[in-house]
Amino acid sequence: MAKLKFGNVEENVVTREEFTLDKAKQILKNETIAMIGYGVQGPGQALNLKDNGFNVIVGQRKDSSSWQKALKDGWVEGKDLFDIETALSKGTIIGFLLSDAGQLTLWPLVEKYLTKGKTLYFSHGFGITFNDQTGIVPPKDVDVILVAPKGSGTSLRRLFKAGKGLNSSYAIYQDASGKALDKVLSMGIGVGSGYLFETNFRNEVLSDLTGERGVLMGALAGIIEAQYQVLRKKGHSPSEAFNETVEELTQSLVPLVGENGMDWMFANTSVTAQRGALDWKEKFRDVTLPLFNELYESVLSGKEAKRVIDACSDKNYRKQLESELTTIRESELWQAGAQVRKLRP
């Protein structure tokens, strides 16, 4: 196991070079991996495992849109695609990849099939960490592990097909067999991780919920809307406002920051951009820091978990969600984006 050092802090990381795919397949050679759920993470993880040579099956509700998607992806009913209960009965490693809200509904059935010696596999620490709200408490005689790719299932699959990998965290909640570490690392390599870094279920969900509501989605969307509105009110055209706010960010700057770091980006821009960015970065940090502290405390307290559970339990949630997404989609900002994307060479 390799070490990453950040001053006095050390982290355990596992690479594909030291924990090879052949080793992972040998460890899991007698396991049947039943991936329950074929929504966000399910397709990418299941297909990567299948292409990597693992014994994997998919469990999904028959005649659902996800069932039809699984068929289109090449899963065969009765061979490696089954209804959920059949897949649960066949699986020795149960990949519980339904949405957090979906896990609450299905947990009583999943628990029924968690017999001694099986492994319960997650890609999110939500259900376990907030089990006072979810009721998800695994039996003591099963292993409980987690591999959380740091990105969408779509990205995981796309990078896998390109011969690359998406970094993932891994964690062990319960090691009943004494072999949970080998299992979780094997699953991490099997689903196509670039490298694996150690965490725990609680830290995974706290960082994940903060990131989603913060820089990765919520804060990013909010800042984009704010800058676009200012430019438009000051007389800039929709195309100019969108290009300066979104297009340059996503098509030019973010990929370069990902490749080389923010310091490189600052060093390789004009002096005008460089000086302005360095000066204004401090102001944005200072303004948003209290908001991020508020956000983290909301996640830590369980308020965000309750909000998710309550909202997704509302029978009208899908209708309300579509209304919210339609408002975003039909806004001038993202209508401008749709037109600009068509012009990309």
Residues tagged active-site: 124
Q: How far is residue 327 from each of residues 26, 236, 274, 320, 321, measured CA to CA in Å?
A: 50, 22, 35, 11, 10
Nearest residue to 126 (alpha-carbon basis) of 117, 135, 118 = 135
| Full DSSP string of 278-329 | HHHHHHHHHHHHHHHHHHHHHHHHTHHHHHHHHHHHSTTHHHHHHHHHHHHH
Give the pair of three-digit tokens for residue 282: 């401090």
DSSP designation for 176: S
Q: How far is residue 99 from each of residues 40, 42, 49, 315, measured CA to CA in Å?
A: 8, 10, 20, 16
Classified as helix, coil or strand, 144 is strand
Residue type, 169: S
| Main-chain dihedrals φ then ψ at residue 148, nearest 5 degrees | -120, 95
Classified as helix, coil or strand, 194 is strand
Give the pair of three-digit tokens for residue 106: 């299905």
CA distance 244 to 213: 23
- 170, containing H or E segment: strand 166-174
CA distance 215 to 222: 10
Side-chain half-sphere CA neighbours of 269 within 13 A? 16
The per-type count for the chain, helices as H runs and strands as E runs, is 19, 10
Cβ atoms of 98 and 312 closer than 8 Å: no
